[in-house]
Every structure is written in C-alpha cells, then in structure tokens.
A and B are shown apart, each in its own frame.
Chain A
C-alpha cells in the first residue's frame, strides 16, 4: 500500500536522466512505472502523457497524475519534489558557481 518511498526513488532517478529534455526519461519512465511497479498501464501512461502535452508549464507535469494514482495527494507532492528537486539543486549550484 505504501508506495511513497518507491515513488521518491523512481522519480529522483528519472530526474537525472532528463538530459536534453523530459523525453529522454520516457523509456525508463515506462519501464519503471508500468512494468516494475505497475502503478498504471502503458495505454494509461500514453494517455496521461498526451494530455500533459496540452497542459501549460513544464511538459512533464503528467508525472503528478502518476503520483496521485499511486499515493494520493502526498504521492503527487513527493513525485514533484523528487522529479524537480535534484535537477533544480544542480542548476542552482551551477548558477552560483
């Protein structure tokens, strides 16, 4: 039932794969969320991704939907922080340096 630690690990790992854009993480996103953890089916992932493309803002916001399904409001929040935190910290360090 408690998927929160798994969500945090998966999305923190995906975070560092997003070199050259969010799409780079997509193959691993599919393997980890669909095949390994079975949080959703592949066609659900495609649907979320497609709808996410039409939403404004950073284009990987569909991950919030995955977090919500797997772990409710806390899941959504954890996914956001795990996915954007590491790269944000790295960018901040670069900006300072």
Chain B
C-alpha cells in the first residue's frame, strides 16, 4: 500500500507573498481550510496509508508537504528552500523522516531544490523542473545520488512555479500537463520521454488540475476541470474532485499537500 505524508493546516494562512497566487489582501478562510483539508485527508486515507507530521507555528506553508523533499526507497533527500520564509520547515521534515527510519541524504547547501514539487517520476525517468524554485544544478546532484536519468525542464510561467503545478505523470506511461508552462525545449524533452500526454486547457490548468495525487487507478484532483476528468475517465481512471479554493490562494492544491513515502521503491 502506498504511503503519504500530510501536515494538518493548523497554522496555515497567507502570511507572505512568494508566488503570484499569494496576496496578503486575500486571506484563507480558516473554517473552509479545515474542511477542505479534512476532505482531502479522508479521501486519501481510503486509498493509502497516511502519516501526519506535527505542524509548527510560523511555518504556514508546512502544510505543503510535497516540498519537504524527495523519497526513493528508504532514502530521503530534504529540500533546500529558495525562500527564507520556508527554509525553517527543512529541519522538522528531516528529523521526522529520520525518526521514521529513512536515511537522510543532504544536497549541497548552495543548491536550491524543492522536493517532490519539482521532481516527479514518469516511469524510471525523473522529470525535474527548474528556474523559479529549484536550480538545474540540483537535478544533476539528485541524478547522481539516485543513479537515474533526470530530465530537466525549464518552467517559464511564474503561476506554475513548481513542476507539480503543471505536470502529472500517470502509471500507464502517459500523463497530463499544461504545455505552455514549459519552454520549447522542455516541451520537446517531455514529449520525447512520454507517450499519450493529455494537454490540459489553460482555464482548467488555472484550477490547479495538474496538481493531482495519483494512486494506481485513482486520481485525487481539485475540482474545476470537467474536460480533463472526462478524458481521464475515458482511460479508466477514477477521479476524485475536491474543493481546494483556500489552498489555491497560496498556490497549492492536492499534490502540494502530500508527499509520497516513497515516490519510487527503487530506480532501475
């Protein structure tokens, strides 16, 4: 059974602005936040085993556990956050993973890397996003640590600042994505290494539709992408559409709120 790490949104809120979605003038409604997160937790709990890390005060974005790091097998590579506002999350995640039996392997401090947010496996290929948050140099280091092929793709739209906001691989070798979030070379590199890509329309991508948690044939994604859902259902996937409005205000949704433990058992 797949395992996921989540963090309850006890301290979540819009307390700074580090991406185009965040606005201090447009705060999250606490009651709705709790309701939306509980619904996500309940949905995922039916599909896999969910672990919870204790939230910490003054770290409102700790709820987005995808950015904690990248886990492969029993190895956990903690993130080096680009923004100081999030850097404080790192020791809590590293300690928690260590306490749960993971071997923590650190990247050089000078390389920015934001975990599963910018590193997603499609088959045995690790697709890595760079520019807004992660550095391309971190991909090389990770590829060496894991012994895998890492395809680095440049993100060009600041609204889709992490790879998991615009790209979601599927277990059948395909995936869905918002191509305009990548530069021309990134688009070509993805097309060369993936088959059966579903292009998500801009209006649906804006609902963070690509920010989905895929567990075998189940896909948990934010509501607001009827066309994408129809296509995924056509391929035999069960879609669980959830309201995510309060998290989208911070630039995150279903996938940002979860980290796989591990994302891959082993790399071949």
Decide whether A and B are members of one complex: no
Interface residues in chain A, defined as those with a beta carbon under 8 Å from any beta carbon in chain B: none
